[in-house]
């Protein structure tokens, strides 16, 4: 039986396409668009964590603390990357790349893209109702200050992504960037009959 890490590595450059970046960067939004474009399954890691545990991300943070959440996040990530199905478009959680060896695993599993959206644009995208959905942001004094501090702490992890887009992380721009970088992203084949 192959090791989990062998399974992940064997997917190579055409494996899972993972999006990383701060809350509000558009990982979920762009991830869905990329999945539709490349005819791949889409997985949102936060949603997968909630499905696995039967609890909200917020509840895990509040009741068990961040370290517990990060352990569950790392376990669900490993399972997702090792899954035998077709390669995914994966929207990671905002903090996923910064804990355990998650960023190295994402890079082994396939192309990685940092949505490096300017802080001012992120803050404008996150009105109070969006802030309330995100436990770390909601607990902070102000969204913009939290985003700045968090970027300073996290950029060394996000910067390990193979690709990066800035203000214009649109579907056409990212598709062109992936093609230009030579990542092979074949459309998912229908299941053999
Ligand atoms: N390119 C964009 N331009 C403007 N608004 C956007 C763009 N992409 C996403 N948004 C909006 O910004 C908000 C956050 O987007 P989204 O939920 O996709 O971010 P995320 O990176 O998945 O955040 P989180 O890490 O908290 O899950 C949503 O309201 C979404 O509609
Ligand atoms: O930026 C973060 O650390 C987080 C972002 C969300 O996607 C969730 O994974 C959780 O709220 C933590
Ligand atoms: Mg999201």
Q: 134 C-alpha to center of ligand 3: Å?
A: 10
Q: Is position 26 annotated in a ligand binding site?
A: yes
Q: 188 C-alpha to center of ligand 2: Å?
A: 29
At residue 7, the pLDDT reads 40
At residue 27, the pLDDT reads 96
At residue 128, the pLDDT reads 85
Mutate to test the pocket of ligand 1, among 21, 23, 28 (most ligand atoms within 8 A of CB): 28
CA nearest 18: which of 154, 157, 161, 181? 161
Kindly state if the Cβ of 70 falls inside 6 Å of ligand 2: no
Residues of the chain with pLDDT under 50: 1-13, 189, 191-193
ipTM: 0.96
Residue 132, CA distances (Å) to 44, 90, 92, 141, 147 in order: 19, 23, 19, 12, 14
- 3-state DSSP call for residue 65? coil
Q: Is position 182 annotated in a ligand binding site?
A: no
As to burial, measured by CB atoms within 10 angstroms (0-12 exposed, 13-18 middle, 19+ buried), residue 31 is buried
- Tell me which CATH homologous superfamily contains domain 4-119+154-170: P-loop containing nucleotide triphosphate hydrolases (3.40.50.300)
Q: Is position 110 annotated in a ligand binding site?
A: no
At residue 79, the pLDDT reads 95
**Ligand 2 atom closest to 49 (CA):** 9
At residue 6, the pLDDT reads 40
At residue 186, the pLDDT reads 59
* Beta-bridge partner residues of 43: 90
C-alpha span between 12 and 161 (Å, rounded): 15
Q: Is position 32 annotated in a ligand binding site?
A: no
Q: Where are the alpha helices (DSSP H) in 83-126?
A: 102-109, 119-125
Q: 2 C-alpha to center of ligand 2: Å?
A: 31
């Amino acid at each position: 039986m192959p090791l989990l890490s062998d399974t992940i590595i064997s997917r190579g450059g055409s494996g899972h396409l993972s999006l990383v970046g701060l809350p509000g960067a558009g990982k979920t939004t762009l991830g869905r668009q990329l999945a539709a474009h490349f005819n791949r399954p889409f997985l949102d890691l936060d949603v997968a964590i909630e499905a696995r545990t039967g609890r909200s991300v917020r509840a895990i943070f509040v009741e068990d603390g961040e370290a517990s959440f990060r352990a569950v996040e790392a376990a669900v990530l490993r399972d997702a990357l090792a899954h035998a199905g077709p390669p995914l478009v994966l929207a990671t959680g905002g903090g996923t790349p910064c804990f355990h060896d998650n960023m190295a695993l994402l890079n082994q599993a396939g192309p990685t893209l940092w949505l490096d959206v300017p802080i001012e644009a992120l803050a404008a995208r996150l009105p109070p109702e969006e802030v309330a959905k995100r436990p770390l942001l909601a607990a902070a004094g102000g969204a913009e200050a939290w985003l700045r501090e968090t970027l300073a702490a996290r950029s060394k992890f996000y910067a390990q992504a193979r690709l990066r887009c800035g203000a214009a992380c649109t579907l056409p721009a990212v598709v062109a960037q992936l093609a230009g970088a030579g990542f092979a992203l074949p459309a998912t084949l229908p299941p053999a009959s």
